[in-house]
Copies of this chain bind each other. A is one copy, B any other.
Amino acid sequence: MEMQSVYETHFPFWKDLCDADRQLMVENTTRVFFEREQSVHDNTRCTGLFIVKSGRLRIYMLSEEGKEITLYRLMPGDVCMLSASCVLSAITFDVYVDAEEPSECYQINPQAFHSLSERIPAVKIFALETAVTRFSDVMWIMQQIVFMSMDKRLAIFLLDELSTTGGDTVTMTHEQIARHLGTAREVVSRILKIMAADGVLEVARKGIRITDKKKLQQIAH
């Protein structure tokens, strides 16, 4: 019963599925738990779709040398489609997915979903639309990387973090922030030092406390 309402909420095509197809979906869904920083998906296999129930997933690119850049995050209610790239033949790239917090998800078998999407246009349209929405997210990151200075990108990142977690403190190490932004720890530390000198924030052991949000917004815009 619980799954029925999850599907109804997340899948616009659910109302059009026949009973047999609904049954197929239910039988191919499992509930999974991930620890903080646990890998959810890598490029070794087609893991499947995820519906985030609680927690937070991070989708990122990883270079052969281990360099990372965060593309976007998924929150409760979001559907992770790029971890099931085998469902969509037009997707020819690999992303990585980690849990940023202890996360509970529904995992849907990619082969089952693929067979459904080949038979039912509304399912395919949903899968493609979800992917195209992420394309928009990635273009925003791309724009930041190519056109914005690192201090502006860092300001945007800190403001995004605050709006996600609430409060006035970002509890991340400089190393973690650097990995999100695809840069070196030293670069992040240097900019944070300048921002601290300007009275925008305080760098403490437990994280970065924003003391002048208006000023931070000015740097971001």
A residues touching B (Cβ–Cβ < 8 Å)?
A: 61, 63-65, 67, 69, 88, 90-93, 121-122, 124-125, 128-129, 131-136, 138-143, 145-147, 182
Contacts and interface: CB of A to CB of B under 8 A. Distances in A.
A63 B146 contact: yes
Contacts of A145: 142, 145-146
A91 B138 contact: no
Contact of A139 (B128, B138, B147, B182): B138
A67 B129 contact: no
Contacts of A91: 132, 135-136
Nearest to A64: B147
Contacts of A90: 129, 132-133, 135-136
Nearest to A129: B90
A34 to B, nearest CB: 24
A65, A124, A133, A139 interface centre (most CB from chain B within 10 Å): A139
